[in-house]
Amino acid sequence: METRATQQRMAHIKLGTEEIEIPAGPTVVSVLKHELGVEPAFVLYLAHGQERQVLGDTETIEVESGLHFEAVPGGGVS
């Protein structure tokens, strides 16, 4: 019998120019930042060609292969 850990799908994504493999599926952005090694105070963007979408820390996104993220210093809680 397979365990839940071995059933986890992985997604191949990009952070800037770096390719990273992380768990696929619905993910809260604050958890995604941790998985990507991004500092909590950074702003995370989902890039679509020349367009970028800001991702709020409490949003949940569907992580899948082929996504491209960018992290920029700033944001945080005031």
Distance CA 64, CA 52 (A): 17
Strands 10-15 and 68-72: parallel
Here the tokens at position 7 are 């059933």
Answer whether residue 6 shows pLDDT above 70.
Answer: no
Q: Which band of pLDDT confidence, cut at 50, 70 and 90, is reported for residue 3? A: very low
Task: Give the Cα separation of 27 and 46 in Å (integer).
Answer: 13
pTM of the model: 0.83
CATH dotted code for 4-72: 3.10.20
Distance, CA of 3 to CA of 13 (rounded, Å): 24
| Domain boundaries defined on the chain | 4-72
Other CB atoms within 10 Å distance of the CB of residue 78: 3
